[in-house]
Amino acid sequence: MSRLVGILFFCSLVVLILGFYRGDEMPTVAELLPELATEPLQTSAAKPPFDVTVGDVAYHIKPLYRYELYGLVVSKHTADGWLDYAHKAWGDALNTADLCVVWGKNAFSGLYTEFSFASGQWTCWYQTRSDEAWRQFSEDQLSNNHMLSHQAQVRATLKRVRVGDQIHIKGHLVEYSHDGGFQRGSSTTRADRGNGACETIFAEDLRILKRAPTLWRALRWLAGAMLLLCGLLWFLLPPTLRQKA
């Protein structure tokens, strides 16, 4: 019995390590939806400035352009994470998540598989060891999006979005502020870089068109559960059996 528990523990540990090594699963090029070939649609905004209230804070929203985006999520940052301090310091409860996405050539050439992506509190970082992949990568077909919404359904969908999901966003590029002195603008072109190059989107509709692959996520959960089970079984084994393990 003790040997069986030990084998099960070792196998679960290996699967768990492999699961974290594989990281978030991305779809293959063949699994990408044709809509991801579409460039973001930015048109004149007829909507006047308006106010919304979230968490007892009134935010002033100034629409700049109507905006629509299809993209593959390659990185995500949630503002309520324990490592996030900026949003709490700014009193910004409206920006619940940042979504870094790619589309167009960056998607259908498979270049996203040659890169690693990571999100900070207001940035998306990307890197590759391949010089050829870097030369082919189009920085105009990647964007880091500060996602805003006061609608419960949109905010709930933002929480459910995972890396590897294919999504559709409709809303406005906006500037926003509150009376505490905080304000933030938005990029209005995909060609800019560096500070201020992120899009700030007030989302009116957010849809997950196709979920990311789930095999390694499921295996990570299963391996973690098996490790806990092995620990419990080991604790329950008679001392004489534990000594022979």
Residue pLDDT, tens place only, 83-123: 666 777 677 889 989 999 999 999 999 999 999 999 988 89
Banded model confidence at residue 7, pLDDT cuts 50, 70, 90: low
pLDDT confidence of residue 4: 61
Handedness of CA 4, 9, 10, 14 (dihedral sign): positive
Token digits of residue 53: 């209230």
More confident residue, 132 or 80: 132
Residue pLDDT, tens place only, 153-196: 999 999 999 999 999 999 999 999 999 889 999 999 999 988 88
104 membership: H or E segment, kind and range: none
pLDDT confidence of residue 244: 43
List all residues 6 or more positions away from 169 whose beta carbon is below 8 Å from its beta carbon.
67, 68, 69, 71, 145, 147, 201, 203, 205, 206
Contact 216, 25 (CB under 8 A): yes
- φ, ψ of residue 13 to 5 degrees: the values are -65, -40
Percent residues over pLDDT 90 in the chain = 60
Rounded to two decimals, the pTM is 0.79
DSSP string, 132-184: HHHHH--GGGEEEEEEE---HHHHHHHHH--TT-EEEEEEEEEEEEETTS-EE
Residue pLDDT, tens place only, 201-213: 999 999 999 998 7
In the three-class reduction of DSSP (H, G, I as helix; E, B as strand; rest coil), residue 81 is classed as coil
pLDDT confidence of residue 5: 54
